[in-house]
Amino acid sequence: MDDFYNERDYENIRKDKYTFSVMSRIIGEECTLRLSDHERIIFCFTGQPFPVWIWTADDAAPEEMEKAYLIARDESLLDGEHRFNVKYELAEYFIKRGKKDGLDLSIQTNLFAYDCPAPIEPSSVVDGQLHKCTAEDIDALVDFFDMFHNSVGIDKKSKEEYRTDAENCVKSECLYLWKNTEGEFVSSCLWHPVNDLASIGLVFTKDEYRRKHYAEHLVYQVTKIVSDAGYLAMLYTDADYAASNACYEKIGYILRGKLCTVG
Protein backbone atom coordinates (compact mmCIF):
# COMPACT_ATOMS: atom_id res chain seq x y z
CA MET A 1 0.00 0.00 0.00
CA ASP A 2 1.28 3.46 -0.91
CA ASP A 3 0.91 6.54 1.27
CA PHE A 4 0.04 8.80 -1.65
CA TYR A 5 -2.84 9.14 -4.09
CA ASN A 6 -2.93 9.46 -7.88
CA GLU A 7 -5.47 9.79 -10.67
CA ARG A 8 -6.37 6.11 -10.48
CA ASP A 9 -7.66 6.68 -6.95
CA TYR A 10 -9.95 9.46 -8.15
CA GLU A 11 -11.15 7.22 -10.96
CA ASN A 12 -11.99 4.47 -8.49
CA ILE A 13 -13.84 6.79 -6.14
CA ARG A 14 -15.78 8.26 -9.06
CA LYS A 15 -17.32 4.81 -9.52
CA ASP A 16 -19.08 5.51 -6.21
CA LYS A 17 -19.15 9.29 -6.49
CA TYR A 18 -22.29 9.68 -4.42
CA THR A 19 -21.51 7.40 -1.50
CA PHE A 20 -17.84 8.41 -1.39
CA SER A 21 -18.01 12.05 -2.48
CA VAL A 22 -16.52 13.21 0.83
CA MET A 23 -13.57 10.89 0.31
CA SER A 24 -12.90 12.37 -3.13
CA ARG A 25 -12.61 15.78 -1.46
CA ILE A 26 -10.47 14.93 1.55
CA ILE A 27 -8.10 12.49 -0.15
CA GLY A 28 -6.18 15.38 -1.67
CA GLU A 29 -5.96 17.27 1.62
CA GLU A 30 -3.53 16.81 4.49
CA CYS A 31 -4.46 13.52 6.13
CA THR A 32 -3.37 11.62 9.22
CA LEU A 33 -3.65 8.44 7.21
CA ARG A 34 -3.89 7.88 3.47
CA LEU A 35 -3.18 4.44 2.03
CA SER A 36 -3.99 3.00 -1.39
CA ASP A 37 -3.11 0.20 -3.73
CA HIS A 38 -4.62 2.38 -6.51
CA GLU A 39 -6.81 -0.50 -7.62
CA ARG A 40 -8.97 -2.17 -4.97
CA ILE A 41 -8.59 -0.50 -1.55
CA ILE A 42 -8.28 3.12 -0.42
CA PHE A 43 -8.00 4.33 3.20
CA CYS A 44 -8.41 7.98 4.15
CA PHE A 45 -8.48 9.46 7.65
CA THR A 46 -8.08 13.14 8.49
CA GLY A 47 -7.90 12.73 12.26
CA GLN A 48 -10.20 12.61 15.26
CA PRO A 49 -13.14 13.03 15.58
CA PHE A 50 -13.79 12.16 11.94
CA PRO A 51 -14.49 8.65 10.59
CA VAL A 52 -12.04 6.55 8.64
CA TRP A 53 -13.23 6.19 5.05
CA ILE A 54 -12.47 2.86 3.39
CA TRP A 55 -13.28 2.40 -0.28
CA THR A 56 -13.33 -1.13 -1.67
CA ALA A 57 -14.35 -2.41 -5.07
CA ASP A 58 -17.92 -3.71 -5.36
CA ASP A 59 -16.66 -7.20 -6.14
CA ALA A 60 -14.09 -7.25 -3.33
CA ALA A 61 -13.11 -10.83 -2.47
CA PRO A 62 -12.82 -12.09 1.13
CA GLU A 63 -9.03 -11.89 0.98
CA GLU A 64 -9.28 -8.21 0.03
CA MET A 65 -11.64 -7.53 2.93
CA GLU A 66 -9.20 -9.35 5.20
CA LYS A 67 -6.45 -7.08 3.90
CA ALA A 68 -8.56 -4.03 4.76
CA TYR A 69 -9.25 -5.41 8.24
CA LEU A 70 -5.56 -6.11 8.89
CA ILE A 71 -4.62 -2.60 7.75
CA ALA A 72 -7.14 -1.15 10.18
CA ARG A 73 -5.73 -3.34 12.94
CA ASP A 74 -2.08 -2.62 12.14
CA GLU A 75 -2.78 1.12 12.04
CA SER A 76 -4.32 0.88 15.55
CA LEU A 77 -7.75 1.91 14.25
CA LEU A 78 -9.57 -0.99 15.93
CA ASP A 79 -9.13 0.56 19.36
CA GLY A 80 -12.75 1.41 20.07
CA GLU A 81 -12.15 5.10 19.40
CA HIS A 82 -12.47 5.06 15.60
CA ARG A 83 -15.43 4.65 13.28
CA PHE A 84 -15.45 3.50 9.65
CA ASN A 85 -17.61 4.64 6.73
CA VAL A 86 -17.77 1.62 4.43
CA LYS A 87 -19.94 -0.39 2.08
CA TYR A 88 -22.25 -2.92 3.72
CA GLU A 89 -20.26 -5.93 2.50
CA LEU A 90 -17.12 -4.68 4.23
CA ALA A 91 -19.11 -3.74 7.32
CA GLU A 92 -20.41 -7.30 7.65
CA TYR A 93 -16.89 -8.67 7.19
CA PHE A 94 -15.43 -6.35 9.85
CA ILE A 95 -18.15 -7.34 12.34
CA LYS A 96 -17.66 -11.09 11.84
CA ARG A 97 -13.87 -10.85 11.69
CA GLY A 98 -13.74 -8.63 14.75
CA LYS A 99 -15.48 -11.26 16.86
CA LYS A 100 -12.49 -13.54 16.31
CA ASP A 101 -10.31 -10.86 17.90
CA GLY A 102 -12.76 -10.24 20.72
CA LEU A 103 -14.05 -6.98 19.23
CA ASP A 104 -17.70 -5.97 19.51
CA LEU A 105 -18.13 -4.08 16.23
CA SER A 106 -21.56 -3.10 14.95
CA ILE A 107 -23.31 -0.85 12.44
CA GLN A 108 -23.96 2.43 14.22
CA THR A 109 -25.59 4.41 11.41
CA ASN A 110 -27.20 3.49 8.11
CA LEU A 111 -26.59 6.20 5.53
CA PHE A 112 -28.39 7.16 2.33
CA ALA A 113 -26.72 9.26 -0.37
CA TYR A 114 -29.05 11.53 -2.36
CA ASP A 115 -28.60 13.96 -5.22
CA CYS A 116 -30.96 16.60 -6.60
CA PRO A 117 -30.83 17.07 -10.39
CA ALA A 118 -34.00 19.23 -10.45
CA PRO A 119 -34.98 21.07 -7.24
CA ILE A 120 -38.74 21.16 -6.60
CA GLU A 121 -40.16 24.22 -4.86
CA PRO A 122 -41.89 23.27 -1.59
CA SER A 123 -45.68 23.35 -1.59
CA SER A 124 -45.72 24.39 2.07
CA VAL A 125 -45.75 28.06 3.13
CA VAL A 126 -43.45 29.44 5.82
CA ASP A 127 -42.61 32.83 7.26
CA GLY A 128 -39.17 34.37 7.12
CA GLN A 129 -36.38 34.29 4.57
CA LEU A 130 -32.97 32.95 3.60
CA HIS A 131 -30.03 34.63 5.32
CA LYS A 132 -26.47 34.38 3.97
CA CYS A 133 -24.10 34.32 6.93
CA THR A 134 -21.52 37.02 7.62
CA ALA A 135 -18.90 37.56 10.30
CA GLU A 136 -21.60 39.15 12.48
CA ASP A 137 -23.31 35.74 12.72
CA ILE A 138 -20.35 33.77 14.09
CA ASP A 139 -21.73 33.45 17.63
CA ALA A 140 -25.05 32.15 16.34
CA LEU A 141 -23.26 29.75 14.01
CA VAL A 142 -21.14 28.31 16.81
CA ASP A 143 -24.40 27.47 18.60
CA PHE A 144 -25.78 25.76 15.48
CA PHE A 145 -22.60 23.71 15.02
CA ASP A 146 -22.78 22.70 18.67
CA MET A 147 -26.50 21.81 18.54
CA PHE A 148 -26.12 19.87 15.29
CA HIS A 149 -23.24 17.69 16.46
CA ASN A 150 -24.80 17.08 19.87
CA SER A 151 -27.94 15.99 18.04
CA VAL A 152 -26.23 13.51 15.71
CA GLY A 153 -23.79 12.44 18.43
CA ILE A 154 -20.68 12.37 16.24
CA ASP A 155 -17.73 14.59 15.30
CA LYS A 156 -18.12 16.73 18.42
CA LYS A 157 -15.62 19.54 18.91
CA SER A 158 -14.93 22.39 21.30
CA LYS A 159 -16.66 25.75 20.96
CA GLU A 160 -13.40 27.28 19.73
CA GLU A 161 -13.06 24.63 17.03
CA TYR A 162 -16.64 25.29 15.96
CA ARG A 163 -15.79 29.00 15.81
CA THR A 164 -12.91 28.26 13.44
CA ASP A 165 -15.20 26.11 11.28
CA ALA A 166 -17.84 28.85 11.22
CA GLU A 167 -15.29 31.51 10.27
CA ASN A 168 -13.98 29.38 7.41
CA CYS A 169 -17.49 28.69 6.12
CA VAL A 170 -18.37 32.38 6.23
CA LYS A 171 -15.23 33.19 4.25
CA SER A 172 -16.16 30.62 1.63
CA GLU A 173 -19.70 32.07 1.47
CA CYS A 174 -21.29 28.62 1.79
CA LEU A 175 -23.23 28.92 5.04
CA TYR A 176 -26.89 29.94 5.37
CA LEU A 177 -29.50 30.34 8.09
CA TRP A 178 -33.26 30.73 7.93
CA LYS A 179 -34.49 33.83 9.77
CA ASN A 180 -38.16 33.91 10.72
CA THR A 181 -40.31 37.03 10.77
CA GLU A 182 -39.46 37.56 14.44
CA GLY A 183 -35.79 37.86 13.52
CA GLU A 184 -34.82 34.52 15.05
CA PHE A 185 -32.38 32.16 13.33
CA VAL A 186 -34.26 28.86 13.27
CA SER A 187 -32.46 26.56 10.80
CA SER A 188 -28.97 26.08 9.35
CA CYS A 189 -27.51 24.66 6.13
CA LEU A 190 -24.15 24.76 4.36
CA TRP A 191 -22.63 23.40 1.17
CA HIS A 192 -19.15 22.45 -0.04
CA PRO A 193 -18.04 21.86 -3.65
CA VAL A 194 -16.75 18.34 -4.33
CA ASN A 195 -15.62 18.20 -7.97
CA ASP A 196 -18.87 18.52 -9.95
CA LEU A 197 -20.98 17.85 -6.85
CA ALA A 198 -21.83 20.09 -3.91
CA SER A 199 -22.24 18.41 -0.55
CA ILE A 200 -25.10 19.76 1.59
CA GLY A 201 -24.59 19.59 5.36
CA LEU A 202 -25.28 21.08 8.80
CA VAL A 203 -29.02 20.75 8.20
CA PHE A 204 -30.52 21.50 11.60
CA THR A 205 -33.60 23.16 13.06
CA LYS A 206 -33.92 24.28 16.66
CA ASP A 207 -36.26 22.04 18.65
CA GLU A 208 -38.91 24.68 19.28
CA TYR A 209 -39.20 25.50 15.55
CA ARG A 210 -39.46 22.00 14.13
CA ARG A 211 -42.38 20.72 12.03
CA LYS A 212 -42.85 24.21 10.62
CA HIS A 213 -41.11 23.41 7.27
CA TYR A 214 -38.22 25.84 7.83
CA ALA A 215 -35.51 23.28 6.96
CA GLU A 216 -37.43 22.20 3.87
CA HIS A 217 -37.43 25.73 2.49
CA LEU A 218 -33.86 26.41 3.58
CA VAL A 219 -32.45 23.29 1.92
CA TYR A 220 -34.47 24.01 -1.23
CA GLN A 221 -33.09 27.56 -1.45
CA VAL A 222 -29.51 26.41 -0.86
CA THR A 223 -29.97 23.62 -3.41
CA LYS A 224 -31.11 26.23 -5.94
CA ILE A 225 -27.99 28.29 -5.21
CA VAL A 226 -25.84 25.20 -5.73
CA SER A 227 -27.64 24.34 -8.97
CA ASP A 228 -27.32 27.90 -10.30
CA ALA A 229 -23.58 27.76 -9.53
CA GLY A 230 -23.27 24.74 -11.83
CA TYR A 231 -23.03 21.99 -9.22
CA LEU A 232 -25.18 18.94 -8.56
CA ALA A 233 -26.33 19.01 -4.93
CA MET A 234 -25.94 15.84 -2.88
CA LEU A 235 -26.27 14.94 0.77
CA TYR A 236 -26.05 12.11 3.27
CA THR A 237 -28.93 11.25 5.57
CA ASP A 238 -29.62 8.85 8.40
CA ALA A 239 -31.46 6.09 6.56
CA ASP A 240 -33.56 5.38 9.64
CA TYR A 241 -34.88 8.97 9.90
CA ALA A 242 -37.91 8.59 7.64
CA ALA A 243 -39.38 12.06 8.22
CA SER A 244 -36.19 13.82 7.19
CA ASN A 245 -35.72 11.66 4.10
CA ALA A 246 -39.32 12.30 3.03
CA CYS A 247 -38.65 16.04 3.31
CA TYR A 248 -35.65 15.81 1.00
CA GLU A 249 -37.51 13.67 -1.50
CA LYS A 250 -40.35 16.22 -1.66
CA ILE A 251 -37.95 18.90 -2.88
CA GLY A 252 -36.40 16.71 -5.56
CA TYR A 253 -33.70 14.61 -3.91
CA ILE A 254 -33.26 11.10 -5.33
CA LEU A 255 -31.70 8.14 -3.53
CA ARG A 256 -28.47 7.11 -5.29
CA GLY A 257 -26.42 5.03 -2.89
CA LYS A 258 -26.11 3.40 0.53
CA LEU A 259 -23.31 2.93 3.04
CA CYS A 260 -22.93 2.63 6.79
CA THR A 261 -20.83 3.62 9.77
CA VAL A 262 -19.20 0.83 11.78
CA GLY A 263 -17.81 1.33 15.27
Q: How confident is the model at residue 213 (pLDDT cuts 50, 70, 90)?
A: very high
Q: In what order do the strands lie in the sheet with 197-205?
A: 33-36, 41-45, 52-56, 84-86, 254-262, 107-116, 232-238, 197-205, 185-194, 175-179, 129-132
Query: pLDDT by residue (tens digit) across 216-231?
Result: 999 999 999 999 999 9
- Give span(s): CATH 3.40.630.30, the chain: 115-257
Query: pLDDT by residue (tens digit) across 104-129?
Result: 999 999 999 999 999 999 999 999 99
Whole-model pTM: value is 0.86
| CATH of segment(s) 115-257 | 3.40.630.30
Tell me what pLDDT residue 155 has: 79
Q: Indicate the helix (H) or strand (E) that contains 107.
A: strand 107-116
Query: pLDDT by residue (tens digit) across 37-54?
Result: 999 999 999 888 889 999
